Amino acid sequence: MSTQPSFADISDQLAAQEIELPSWAFGNSGTRFKVFGTPGTPRDPFEKIADAAKVHELTGLAPQVALHIPWDLCDFDELAAHAADLGVRLGTVNSNTFQDDDYKFGALTHEDERIRNKAVDAHFQCIDVMDRTGSRDLKIWLAEGSNYPGQADMRGRQDRLHDSLTRIYDRLGEEQRMVLEYKFFEPSFYHTDVPDWGTSYAQVAALGDKAMVCLDTGHHAPGTNIEFIVMQLLRLGKLGSFDFNSRFYADDDLMVGAADPFQLFRILHEVIRGGGFNSPDIAFMLDQCHNVENKIEGQIRSVLNVQEMTARALLIDTGALTEAQRTGDVITANDIFMDAFYTDVRPDLAEWRVSRGLPADPIRAFRESGYQEQIAADRVGGTQAGWGA
Ligand code: PSV
Ligand code: MN
């Protein structure tokens, strides 16, 4: 007889789940071939927050919004008040040292001390923003590396990276943290200065307890066992945050759970197994771009995908699984795992939402709300926010 938990057994755990939205998901984005503008796209951080708040209103899942500096520079007291009025709060602050001519050959790793100082100062500016917004995490993703063998002194760059990160780390307040994101390639194609979790781990471990690794699910080579990395970082106490998205080829930034729902399930299983689920130490963020789909609907679909796979992972009969693993019963262990994965939780989740005063079908509710038509009519003139603004 199956001892798989019932949906009622897991509903309290689901109620505590929070997924942070990236402000940049609401702006226009595209590929290097074309950025398509869309009616209603936010023109400033205030309008991005309004769209994010709509996602939270309809799903109950996304009470926090991450900012990108300098894209979202504005009066942060006003922005925080605006967010609070709409029922959300400001979260992770993302630094940007990849869009200035000075950073062509690196920022925190640059050979030139002047440029390194400029990049460190850009991070100090982010910490100033965090002081105003009350944000906990500074997320650093570095577009640094080289394109050709021999172009750069990889060892020297690693040493300079340590020095620069140390200066930023020392500036963090008591309650603030740094999360260092890795990415195996792009925009550099030969070497990247923080290409993998091991390098991120080595750099943050050298700094101290307030420095953690950020795992972006789209930043691995095809075939990488990402859930193994999740397990290891949790085991080491160094998993600080997720950037969720999906990929078919490179860093596609598509909706999480769209390309490979089973991978998302496996990742969430390791999160739960490692004590990371609903842990205050881990920020569960989306890092996505919506190039062809409606952006607000894309964010709604994404948080629902995370919730759905979380529910399925929580349904694993862990007692029976542990026993099957202990006794070497391979087939039963795999069956238990797959039984949970194949459980369709969508009707239960719809009911659960209604019981919490939320729409059974948030995408449909969004379409019926008239919000998209309203912002398309209201947001006329000005410059639409987008990649690079
Ligand atoms: C670039 O790859 C990237 O998508 C990183 O994942 C960052 O998290 C994000 O941009 C925002 O800077
Ligand atoms: Mn990312």
Handedness of CA 241, 308, 67, 291 (dihedral sign): positive
Residue 2's pLDDT band (cuts 50, 70, 90) = low
Q: What region does 341 belong to: left with phi over 0, alpha with psi -120 to 50, or beta?
A: alpha
Kindly list the distances between the CA atom of residue 19 and the CA atoms of 14, 241, 335, in Å, as whole numbers in the listed order. 11, 11, 29
Separation of CA 69 and ligand 2 centre (Å): 14
Q: Is a pLDDT exceeding 70 seen at residue 1?
A: no
Residue nearest to atom 1 of ligand 1 (CA): 141
Q: Ligand 1 within 6 A of 183 CB?
A: yes
Q: Is a pLDDT exceeding 70 seen at residue 389?
A: no
Q: Average pLDDT, whole number, for the chain?
A: 97
Q: Are 59 and 300 in contact (CB under 8 A)?
A: yes
Q: Is a pLDDT exceeding 90 seen at residue 387?
A: no
Nearest CA to 240 out of 282, 287, 198, 181 is that of 282
Q: What is the pLDDT of residues 170-190, one digit of tens each?
A: 999 999 999 999 999 999 999
Atom of ligand 1 nearest to the CA of 96: 12
Contacts of 326 (CB under 8 A, 6+ apart): none
Q: Please give the model's pTM, rounded to 2 decimal places.
A: 0.97
Q: Which residue has the tokens 């999360």?
A: 179
Atom of ligand 1 nearest to the CA of 94: 12
What integer pLDDT is reported at residue 353 of this predicted model? Answer: 98
Q: Are strands 137-141 and 89-95 parallel, antiparallel or unpaired?
A: parallel
User: Which residues sit opposite 139 in a β-bridge?
Assistant: 94, 179
Q: Are 12 and 314 in contact (CB under 8 A)?
A: no
| Choice from 92, 141, 182, 194 to test ligand 1 binding pocket (greatest atom count within 8 A of CB) | 141
375 phi/psi in degrees, rounded to 5? -70, -30
Q: Is a pLDDT exceeding 70 seen at residue 317?
A: yes
- Between CA 19 and CA 306 the distance in angstroms is 8
Q: Which fold has domain 16-307?
A: TIM Barrel (3.20.20)
Would you kindly state where each structural domain of the chain is located, as residue ranges? Answer: 16-307
Nearest CA to 352 out of 10, 99, 110, 116 is that of 10
What integer pLDDT is reported at residue 310 of this predicted model? Answer: 98
Residue nearest to atom 5 of ligand 1 (CA): 141
What integer pLDDT is reported at residue 3 of this predicted model? Answer: 87
Q: What is the pLDDT of residues 268-304, one digit of tens each?
A: 999 999 999 999 999 999 999 999 999 999 999 999 9
Helix or strand (DSSP H, E) at 328: none
Q: Ligand 1 within 6 A of 216 CB?
A: yes
- Between CA 234 and CA 197 the distance in angstroms is 12
Beta strands in the chain (DSSP E): 21-22, 64-69, 89-95, 137-141, 145-146, 177-181, 191-192, 211-216, 239-244, 283-286
Q: What is the pLDDT of residues 340-376, one digit of tens each?
A: 999 999 999 999 999 999 999 999 999 999 999 999 9
Q: Is a pLDDT exceeding 70 seen at residue 388?
A: no
Q: What is the pLDDT of residues 194-240, one digit of tens each?
A: 999 999 999 999 999 999 999 999 999 999 999 999 999 999 999 99
Helix (H, G, I), strand (E, B) or coil at 82: helix
What integer pLDDT is reported at residue 386 of this predicted model? Answer: 87
Separation of CA 63 and ligand 1 centre (Å): 21
Burial category of 1 from C-beta neighbours within 10 Å (exposed 0-12, middle 13-18, buried 19 and up): exposed
Q: What is the pLDDT of residues 193-202, one digit of tens each?
A: 999 999 999 9
Residue nearest to atom 7 of ligand 1 (CA): 141
